Amino acid sequence: MSGPVRSDAPGASEVSETFEFQKALREAFWAALVALGLFGLIVGLKTDQTLSNEIVLKPRPGLLAAMVGAVFIGSLLRNWVVWNRARAAMHRTASGSRIDMQKVEQIGLPAFIAFLSVFPVIVIFTAGWGSVPKWVDNFGILILIYIMLGWGLNIVVGLAGLLDLGYVAFYAIGSYTYALLALHFGFNFWLALPVAGAMAAMWGILLGFPVLRLRGDYLAIVTLAFGEIIYLVALNWRDFTGGGAGLSAPRIDFFGIPFGAGDTDFSARFGLEHSPAYRTIFLYYVILVLALTTAWVTLRLKRLPVGRAWEALREDEIACRAVGMNTTNTKLTAFAIGAMFGGFAGAFFGARQAFITPESFVFEQSALILAIVVLGGAGSLVGVVLAAIVLIGGSEILRELEFLKPVIGEDPSKFRMLIVGGGMVLMMLWRPRGLIAARAPSIFLKERKMIGSENVKEGHG
Amino acid sequence: MEVFLQQVINGITLGSIYGLIAIGYTMVFGIIGMVNFAHGDIFMVGCFVALIMFLIVTAILGTGGAAIFVALLICLIVSVAVTGLYNWTIEKVAYRKLRGSFRLAPLISAIGMSILLINFVQISQDARNKPVPSIIDGGITLMKGQTFDVVLAYKDLLIMIVTAVLLLVFWYLVQKTPLGRAQRACEQDRKMAALLGINVNKTIAVTFIIGAGLAAVAATMWLVKYNVVSYKDGFIPGVKAFTAAVLGGIGSLPGAVLGGLLIGLIESLWSGYFSIDYKDVAAFTILVITLIFLPQGILGKPEVEKV
């Protein structure tokens, strides 16, 4: 694979100069008919409960017509865009300039880190102390937690190419380790943090050891099952985990000094007026450091033999085995290191929430983290950041769009997971190997030539 | 003894439903080697179509006497048609382009589809449980016990008969008809099958439609047995059916049903004798154990990875 030929480039001779409107119309008609079949019952009729819990059907012809119409117009537009692009490709000689994603990665990450380290200051100066809970807590900390989880999972999915559908289990193990250690042995956050990471890594090894011999999709299903088992155990083992009622955990403190209103607490000792915002800002910097550590370790590991081995494994497992690599151990390190960062994030989550329930660790969370990694383009650190900001920040913004409710008839924030699911499918169709993932050769003759992801097939490049 | 017999009957009924769903996993896996993660949610969509059709038909025909069977038959047919259309569309839109793509692309796409379907149904039909009045009552008392009688409910009997008949029909379809031959040919070597004039795309599409159709039958039976439907109903039965498919040997039709029956029996005996809280844990544990120690399943052939 060396030429710049893309698999979806249309054959130039097949494109006609005029848009075949009739053909497109026929296609759109069929698409609309299929849509009518798909949506006719499920969208066209709504099952509503009466007071006596009896179900009645409420017809929604307007919504149904709108959706079928949208499919009809969408199909027409799609045909037109495809034709337009094909015609443009025929007239163009050069392949056109494309953004060098590798450059984006190199410039984007430092710029992003610089912005993040001053983010709370910007918030305080532009919006005042009162907006700290909203902007720093709801946006900043929440997004950073997901960035960290995304970066942790990225080691497993993006670098080693192992699909982990139960990553949230390690997050849960970290959280419960922290909460239980604090409850029974009085550990504070800083003491519990390494234990939580070690515990998650240990579970990663315990789970990974027998299952990592499996082929990719079986591995994915086993990790899914493991995630569900951890969730169900947390839900049902009431004596140990508190069951559905949850478990309270101590809030984070400033290296031993609690953030309270008392005389020996943080604000009194430093001669400041008491405000809960200090804790929030401290939490922000803690998760920022944790997340950046994850990124730094990932970048360093990538250059070590083990990191190279992960990437080789992702590209072609059979070849790796043929050259005598111990694939199980290589996978196990990726799995354990990814799990460890999940455990750290979990302990942080416990210290932030001060209260954990099994409902924070459902499969949907795993799917969301996976979606962040996939939509960010598996393997790319900046991609994960962008995807986390769009998915997590976007859903916070959807919550702000309450005024749209009368227009679309539903709470806009409900559409978050719908968009996540659709996004995953589109990403796979459009660029399955990721946005930025490019192959950098480790041995070269004169200059290091990057190989774009679109030119790399499994077992090639 | 009464507990054991009753739980065996429950287990076989439940297992029949899992088996019907498992056939969809096993056929798709057999022909294109992908785990159709969205299949459980296809089943859930089938449940909702059956529920809505049931409400429409009973509103017209009433629920008395033979009308209920006519109503169920109409539900079954419509649910099979609509659910088949769903799977056909999904295959065409989300999976077909990914056939030659990297290993995990179809699975990730299917996970996306699964999330999409769950949330589509949740938004369009809201998140509450949807109960209907009991559809088929009564049963045959098999044994008088001291604390309770062992009853084979008519609905359980119906579910067992439907599964058995469908299994025979599909066994015949795959073994003896040109369609089945085309399917098996695609399974062995897609490129060679195409060279020999088999329409590969059509064969794969038909496989998806059949899988969804059987899931829709299972969905109608689910409605008959439990009389309640929720948007969450796809996930857990889906995973259990997948476990059944792997346990029985993925790619094997009788294996899927055998696996389904085993999973159903284990689940109901577990809830009868141990803890009902942990019944899903038991199912997931079996999945993990099967995948680790017996990945080729009971009736499957060991897989050889070729370069």
DSSP A379-401: T-HHHHHHHHIIIIIHHHHHHH-
Residue of B115, B128, B276, B293 to mutate, interface with A, max A Cβ within 10 Å: B115
Provide CB contacts within 8 A for B196, sequence distance 6+: B185
CA B207 → CA B178, B186, B248, distances in Å? 13, 11, 19
pLDDT (average), residues B149-170: 86
Calculate how close chain A gets to B143, using CA atoms only, in Å.
35
Q: Which of A83-92, A434-443, B41-50, B290-299 has the highest mean pLDDT?
A: B41-50
CA A406 vs CA A44, A396, A400, A409, B246: distances in Å: 19, 19, 14, 5, 47
Least confident of A257-271, A416-430, B55-69, B89-103: A257-271
- Residue of chain B nearest A363, judged by CA positions: B235
Q: Give A239's pLDDT tier (boundaries 50, 70, 90).
A: confident
Task: Dig out the tokens for B220 from the structure.
Answer: 């109608």
Tokens of A304: 């070590």
Query: Using 50, 70 and 90 to split pLDDT, how confident is the model at A11?
Result: very low
Average the pLDDT over B182-192 and give the result. 85
Please tell me the distance in Å from A210's CA to the nearest CA on chain B: 6
Has residue A459 got a pLDDT over 70? no
Q: Are B50 and B75 in contact (CB under 8 A)?
A: yes
Kind and range of the H or E element at A49?
strand A45-49
* CA separation for the pair A432, A425 (Å, rounded): 9
* Main-chain phi, psi angles of B131, to 5 degrees: -90, 145
Tens digit of each residue's pLDDT (9 = 90 or more) over B8-26: 988 999 999 999 999 988 8
Do A422 and B112 lie within an 8 Å CB cutoff?
A: yes
Do B53 and B74 touch, CB atoms closer than 8 A?
A: yes
Contact check, Cβ <8 Å, A422/B128: no
Nearest 5 degrees, angle CA B176-CA B182-CA B187?
Answer: 110
Considering only CA atoms, which of A378, A43, A75 is closest in space to residue B92?
A75
Per-residue pLDDT band at A439 (split at 50, 70, 90): low
To test the contact with chain A by mutation, choose from B276, B284, B296, B305 the residue with the greatest count of A C-beta atoms within 10 A, namely B284
CB nearest to A410's CB, from B123, B242, B288: B123
User: Which residue in A216, A226, A414 is closest to B103 by CB distance?
Assistant: A216
Higher pLDDT, A349 or A212: A349
Q: Is the pLDDT of residue B257 over 60?
A: yes
User: Can you tell me the distance from the alpha carbon of B36 to that of B242, in angstroms, rounded to the nearest whole number?
Assistant: 9
- Residue with the bigger pLDDT between B19 and B102: it is B19
Per-residue pLDDT of B110-133, as tens digits, reads 999 999 999 999 888 888 888 888
Question: A47–B130: do the CB atoms touch at under 8 Å?
Answer: yes
CA–CA separation, A380 vs A106, rounded Å?
11
Is residue A31's pLDDT more than 50?
Answer: yes
Phi and psi based region of residue A324 (left: phi greater than 0; alpha: psi -120 to 50; beta: remaining): left
Whether residues B119 and A414 touch (CB distance < 8 A) is answered with yes
| Cβ pair A14, A92 in contact under 8 A | no
Nearest by Cα to B247 from B282, B278, B281, B286: B286
DSSP state of A264: T
Q: What is the pLDDT of residue A2?
A: 39
Mean pLDDT of A289-316: 88
Element (H, E) at B21: helix B2-32
In chain A, the residue whose alpha carbon lies closest to the alpha carbon of B86 is: A38
For residue B263, give both structure tokens: 């999973």
Nearest CB neighbour to B116, from listed A418, A429, A458: A418
SS3 (DSSP) at B140: strand
- C-alpha radius of gyration, chain A, whole number: 25
Find chain B residues with C-beta within 8 A of A427's C-beta. Answer: 112
Distance from CA of A426 to the nearest CA of B (A): 8
Higher pLDDT, B138 or A78: A78
Give residue A174's pLDDT band: very low, low, confident or very high (50, 70, 90): very high
> Cβ–Cβ contacts within 10 Å for residue B194, how many?
15
φ/ψ region of A69 (left if φ > 0, alpha if ψ in -120 to 50, else beta) reads alpha
Which of B42, B48, B77, B103 would best serve as a mutation to test chain A binding (most A beta carbons within 10 A)? B103
How sure is the predictor about A452, in pLDDT bands with cuts at 50, 70 and 90?
low
pLDDT at A392: 84
Q: What is the DSSP string of A210-252?
A: HHTTS-HHHHHHHHHHHHHHHHHHHHH-HHHH-GGG-EE-PPP
Question: What is the C-alpha to C-alpha distance for residues B197 and B200, in angstroms, rounded to an integer?
Answer: 9
**B45 contacts in chain A (CB < 8 Å):** 42
Q: How confident is the model at residue A443 (pLDDT cuts 50, 70, 90)?
A: low
Is residue A166 within 8 Å of residue A226, measured between CB atoms? yes
* Contact of B171 with B254, CB cutoff 8 Å: yes
Cβ separation A424–B291 shorter than 8 A: no
> What is the pLDDT, as a whole number, of residue A205?
92
Among A233, A215, A177, A232, CA closest to A348: A177
Flag the least confident range among A118-122, B63-67, B223-227: B63-67
The interface predicted TM-score (ipTM) is 0.85
Query: Binning pLDDT at 50, 70 and 90, where does residue A1 land?
Result: very low
Q: Give tens-digit pLDDT for A362-412.
A: 888 898 898 888 888 766 788 888 888 888 887 777 777 766 666 666 666
Asked if B115's CB is within 8 angstroms of A417's CB, the reply is: yes
**Which pLDDT belongs to residue B22?**
92
- CA closest to A213 among chain B residues: B292
Please report residues of A whose CB lies closer than 8 A to that of B294: none
Contact: B102, A414; criterion CB under 8 Å? no
**Most B CBs within 10 Å: which of A27, A395, A416, A425, as the mutation test of the B interface?**
A425
Instruction: Give pLDDT, residue A340.
Output: 95
Q: Residues 6 or more apart from A196 whose CB is under 8 A from it? A: A173, A174, A175, A177, A178, A181, A343, A344, A346, A347
Mean pLDDT of chain A: 80
Q: What are phi and psi of A274, to 5 degrees?
A: -65, 130
pLDDT at A95: 47
**What does the buried/exposed string (b/e) look like for A309-325 if buried means 16 or more CB atoms within 10 Å of the residue's CB?**
bbbbbbbbbeebeeeee
- The shortest C-alpha distance from A177 to chain B (Å) reads 21
Quick check: A97 pLDDT over 90? Answer: no
| Separation between Cα atoms, residue A333 and residue B163, nearest integer Å | 46
Please give, rounded to a whole number of angstroms, the shortest distance from the CA of B27 to a CA of chain A: 16
Summarize pLDDT for B36-93 with one digit per residue, the tens.
889 999 999 999 999 999 888 888 887 777 788 888 889 899 999 999 999 999 999 8
* B132 contacts A55? CB cut-off 8 A: yes
Inter-chain touch B49–A457, beta carbons under 8 Å: no
Distance CA B172, CA B69 (A): 26
Tokens, residue B223: 């409605």
Distance CA A181, CA A167 (A): 22
- For the CA atoms of A25, A31, A33, A34, the dihedral, rounded to the nearest 10 degrees, stands at 170
Most B CBs within 10 Å, among A7, A68, A221, to test the B interface: A221
> Taking CB atoms and an 8 Å cutoff, what residues of chain A touch B42?
none
Q: What is the DSSP string of A417-458?
A: HHHHHHHHHHHHHH-TT-SS--BPPSS-SSS---B-GGG--T
| Chain A residues inside the 8 Å CB shell of B291 | 211, 214, 218, 221-222
Give the closest of A225, A236, A371 to B284, CB-based.
A225
pLDDT digits (tens, 9 = 90+) for A324-337: 988 888 989 999 99
Q: Which of A429, A453, A460 to mutate to test the interface with B (most CBs of B within 10 A)?
A: A429
Question: What confidence category does residue A438 fall into, taking pLDDT thresholds of 50, 70 and 90?
Answer: low
The mean pLDDT of B158-180, rounded to a whole number, is: 86
Query: For chains A and B, what is the number of CB pairs under 8 angstroms?
Result: 185
3-state secondary structure of A108: helix
Please identify which residue in the block is written with the tokens 């399917």. B183
Q: How close A412 comes to chain B (CA, Å)?
A: 10
| Chain B residues lying within 8 Å of A167, measured CB to CB | none
Q: Which pLDDT does position B19 carry in this prediction? A: 92
Interval B142-161 mean pLDDT: 81
**Nearest CA-CA distance, residue A279 and chain B, Å:** 36
Token readout for B216 is 């829709």
How much is the pLDDT for B304? 59
With contacts defined as CB-CB under 8 Å, which chain A residues touch B99? none
> CA quadruple A174, A175, A176, A178: dihedral positive or negative?
positive
- What pLDDT, on a 0 to 100 scale, did the predictor assign at position A12? 43
Higher pLDDT, A8 or A34: A34
What are the residues whose beta carbons fall under 8 Å from the beta carbon of A30, sequence distance 6 or more?
A: none
What chain A residue is nearest to B102 in terms of C-alpha separation?
Answer: A458
Which residue on chain B is closest to A37 by alpha carbon? B82
Whether A54 has a pLDDT exceeding 50, the answer reads yes
* CA separation for the pair A337, A301 (Å, rounded): 10
Task: Return the pLDDT at A343.
Answer: 95
Cβ within 8 Å, pair A220-B102 = no
Contacts of A237 (CB under 8 A, 6+ apart): A243
pLDDT for position A371:
87
Contact B86 A220 (CB under 8 A): no
Contact at CB, B125 and A46, closer than 8 angstroms = yes
Contact A136, A192 (CB under 8 A): no
